[in-house]
A = this chain, B = another copy of it.
Amino acid sequence: MINQLTANIKKTGAPIVVGLDPMLDYVPEHIRGKAFEEYGETLEGAAEAIWQFNKEIVDHTFDLIPAVKPQIAMYEQFGIPGLAAFKKTVDYCKEKGLVVIGDVKRGDIGSTSAAYAAGHLGHVQVGSKSYAPFDEDFATVNPYLGSDGVNPFLKVCKEEKKGIFVLVKTSNPSSGEFQDRLVDGKPLYELVGEKVAAWGEELMGEDYSYVGAVVGATYPEMGKILRRIMPKAYILVPGYGAQGGKGKDLVHFFNEDGLGAIVNSSRGIIAAYKQEKYAKYGEKAFAEASRAAVEDMAGDIRGALG
């Protein structure tokens, strides 16, 4: 899958990922109303609304982008129907040729971590049959529990040729509370970055490893250091756009081959029609606004990379 991701990035010339993190109030009235008409103001109605919203955005952007990153929390908040909409979204994006990064940030130990890995990236056995329940291509993983939490994911990644992005330095303002604390003079995120590089050595694709890292666009200086520590890791970069990151901040997240990073934007793309800049599209053509925002974002990053 890391080779597929690289191939998709080369094909589109756009190292970007669209974060499919739908909030109900991003969904235009005509879609929401129709879903509520059919299912009532229920969890099923909410799930149908976000699924239709996603579908239209994907239909309008899939030829421009290599990957999507649905944030499972936005679906999980609507319970079982919401999670069914997550699964539908994953399947649909894969049909469209997109690489799907499940932003699940799971992290546990031993058999529990193995269960998450099987459920999201691998297969589970039921009697004589085998199933791939969620079947994303990549998943995000929290490292706080150490190697015991990550190893079961590595095992599944090896079997399935899939990948993970390990949280190293997150984009939020308080990420430094623990991640920046100095351990023997070195911030914790560097130690985690070193682990990511080590975990990834055994799981190499053609040029990059199956084991990537999450490093926020909001911390470009740290990105520069982490790029050096993890030369073979793809860096998934959140925090572009709405969270304040700009194209020029991103240069050092990339390697000299122009690869090695993929930049996420969620709200900035999927709710583009709510921005003044794209207001001319109006609510009905919200997905065309998303397309324009993708084109602008790709242009911004291409410009910065030179």
- For residue A106, CB closer than 8 A to chain B, the reply is yes
- A73 contacts B177, C-beta separation under 8 Å: no
For window 174-231 of A, CB contacts with B under 8 Å fall at: 174-179, 181-184, 188, 191-192, 195
Interface locus among A39-47, A277-285, A290-298 = A39-47
For window 64-78 of A, CB contacts with B under 8 Å fall at: 71, 73-74, 76-78
For window 122-151 of A, CB contacts with B under 8 Å fall at: 124-129, 131, 133-134, 142-149
Inter-chain CA distance A111–B182, complex, in Å, is 29
Size of chain A's interface in residues, with CB distance under 8 A? 72
- A133 contacts B176, C-beta separation under 8 Å: no
Inter-chain CA distance A81–B147, complex, in Å, is 30
- For residue A36, CB closer than 8 A to chain B, the reply is yes
**This chain's copy number in the assembly:** 2
- A112 contacts B176, C-beta separation under 8 Å: no
A197 to chain B, nearest CB (A): 14
The residue in chain B whose Cβ has the minimal distance to the Cβ of A147 is B174
Inter-chain CA distance A299–B73, complex, in Å, is 40
A170 to chain B, nearest CB (A): 5
- B178 contacts A192, C-beta separation under 8 Å: yes
Interface locus among A10-18, A82-90, A256-264 = A82-90
- B115 contacts A74, C-beta separation under 8 Å: yes
Chain B residue numbers with a CB within 8 Å of A77 are: 115-116, 118-119, 124, 133
Chain B residue numbers with a CB within 8 Å of A80 are: 80, 83-84, 87, 133
